[in-house]
Amino acid sequence: MVPCTGDTYPSPACFLCNQGEIMGDYILEIENLTKDFPGVRALDKVNLKVKKGEIHSLCGENGAGKSTLMSVISGVYPKGSYEGKVFYKGQETNYHSVKDSEKEGLAIIHQELALSPYLSIYENIFLGHMKTRFGIINWNDYIRASKQYLDRVGLHEPPATIVSKLGVGKQQLVEIARALSKQVELLILDEPTSSLNDDESEKLLDLMLEFKRQGITSVMISHKLNEVLKVADTVTVLRDGKSIATFDVKADQLTEAMIIKDMVGRDLTRRFPVRKTKPGETIMEVKNWTVYHPEYHTIKVVDTASFYLRRGEILAFCGPMGAGRTELMMSIYGKSYGSHSEGALYIKGKQVTLNRVKAAIDTGLGYVSEDRKNLGLILIQNIRTNISISSLEKLSRFGLVSMQQDIQEAEKYRKELRIKTPSINQLTRNLSGGNQQKVVLSRSLLADPDIFIVDEPTRGIDVGAKSEIYSILSELVEQGKSVIMISSELPEALGMADRIYVMNEGKIKGMLMHDEATQEKIMQIALVG
Lowest pLDDT segment from 41-50, 193-202, 431-440, 517-526: 193-202
List, for residues 92-115, the tens digit of each pLDDT value.
999 998 889 988 999 888 877 788
Domain assignment of residue 49, yes or no: no
Taking phi first (over 0 means left), then psi (-120 to 50 degrees means alpha), and beta for anything else, what does residue 222 get? Answer: beta
Same domain for 525 and 389:
no
Same domain for 342 and 490:
yes
User: Is the pLDDT confidence value at 412 over 70?
Assistant: yes
List, for residues 308-359, the tens digit of each pLDDT value.
999 999 999 998 777 899 999 999 999 999 999 999 999 999 999 999 999 9
Looking at 413, 448, 483, the residue that finishes a domain is 448
d(CA 140, CA 133): 13
Span 453-478, average pLDDT: 83
d(CA 285, CA 310): 9
Q: State the DSSP string of 78-130.
A: -TTSSEEEEEETTEE---SSHHHHHHTTEEEE-SS----TTSBHHHHHHTT--
Which of 529, 515, 498 minimizes the C-alpha distance to 308? 498
Same domain for 305 and 347:
yes
Phi, psi at 485, each rounded to 5°: -120, 120
pLDDT band of residue 18 (cuts 50, 70, 90) is very low
Which of 244, 275, 274, 273 minimizes the C-alpha distance to 260? 244
Domain assignment of residue 483, yes or no: yes
Amino acid residing at 520: E
Phi, psi at 204, each rounded to 5°: -70, -40
Same domain for 383 and 517:
no
Please give the pLDDT value at position 460. 67
Q: Note down the domain range covering 360.
A: 279-364+449-529
Torsion of CA 421, 427, 433, 436, to 10 degrees: 80
Greatest C-alpha distance within the chain:
86
Q: Which helix (H) or strand (E) holds 229?
A: helix 225-231
Which residue did the predictor score with more confidence, 151 or 61?
A: 151
Span 231-251, average pLDDT: 92
Percent of the chain with pLDDT over 90: 41
Domain assignment of residue 141, yes or no: no
Lowest pLDDT segment from 80-84, 147-151, 236-240, 368-372: 368-372
Same domain for 469 and 441:
no
Torsion of CA 87, 88, 93, 99, to 10 degrees: -150
Same domain for 358 and 398:
no
Same domain for 516 and 418:
no
Please give the pLDDT value at position 135. 79
Burial 67-97, CB ≥16 within 10 A → b, else e: bbbbbbbbbbbeeeebeeebbbbbeebebee
Cis peptide before 279 (omega within 30 of 0): no
pLDDT, the chain, mean: 86
Please give the pLDDT value at position 3. 38
Span 271-284, average pLDDT: 84
Burial of 241 (0-12, 13-18, 19+ CB in 10 A): buried
List, for residues 124-159, the tens digit of each pLDDT value.
998 877 777 877 878 888 899 899 889 888 888 899
d(CA 24, CA 2): 15
Span 374-398, average pLDDT: 86
User: Is the pLDDT confidence value at 7 over 60?
Assistant: no
Torsion of CA 165, 168, 172, 178, to 10 degrees: 20
Please give the pLDDT value at position 305. 96
Task: Report angle CA 481, 486, 492 to the nearest 5 degrees.
Answer: 90
Please give the pLDDT value at position 209. 93
Domain assignment of residue 348, yes or no: yes
Same domain for 500 and 438:
no
User: Is the pLDDT confidence value at 529 over 50?
Assistant: yes
pLDDT band of residue 30 (cuts 50, 70, 90) is very high
Which residue did the predictor score with more confidence, 23 or 394?
A: 394
Which of 486, 397, 520, 390 minimizes the C-alpha distance to 445? 390
Contact 493, 521 (CB under 8 A): no
Looking at 448, 481, 507, the residue that finishes a domain is 448
pLDDT band of residue 268 (cuts 50, 70, 90) is low
Q: How many domains are contained in the chain?
A: 2
pLDDT band of residue 24 (cuts 50, 70, 90) is low
Same domain for 409 and 295:
no
Please give the pLDDT value at position 254. 92
Domain assignment of residue 454, yes or no: yes
User: Is the pLDDT confidence value at 9 over 50?
Assistant: no
Please give the pLDDT value at position 61. 76
Same domain for 352 and 284:
yes
Same domain for 457 and 428:
no
Taking phi first (over 0 means left), then psi (-120 to 50 degrees means alpha), and beta for anything else, what does residue 89 get? Answer: left
List, for residues 286-309, the tens digit of each pLDDT value.
999 999 988 888 889 999 999 999
3-state secondary structure 144-210: HHHHHHHHHHCCCCCCCCEHHHCCHHHHHHHHHHHHHHCCCCEEEEECCCCCCCHHHHHHHHHHHHH
Same domain for 387 and 412:
yes
Which of 236, 324, 262, 245 minimizes the C-alpha distance to 501? 324
SS3 510: strand
CA distance from start to end of the chain? 69
Looking at 448, 468, 488, the residue that finishes a domain is 448
How many Cα atoms occupy the beta-carbon half-sphere of 199 within 13 Å? 8
Q: Are strands 242-248 and 234-239 parallel, antiparallel or unpaired?
A: antiparallel
List, for residues 178-227, the tens digit of each pLDDT value.
888 888 899 998 888 877 777 778 888 998 999 899 899 999 998 888 89
Q: Are strands 106-109 and 186-190 parallel, antiparallel or unpaired?
A: parallel
Q: How many helices (H) and strands (E) does the chain have?
A: 16, 22
d(CA 167, CA 237): 32
pLDDT band of residue 266 (cuts 50, 70, 90) is low
User: Is the pLDDT confidence value at 83 over 60?
Assistant: yes
Domain assignment of residue 164, yes or no: no
For residue 276, the tally of other CB atoms under 10 A from its CB is 5
Domain assignment of residue 351, yes or no: yes
User: Is the pLDDT confidence value at 461 over 80?
Assistant: no
Kindly report the CATH number assigned to the domain that includes residue 327.
3.40.50.300
pLDDT band of residue 267 (cuts 50, 70, 90) is low
- pTM summary value: 0.63
Domain assignment of residue 24, yes or no: no
Please give the pLDDT value at position 12. 36
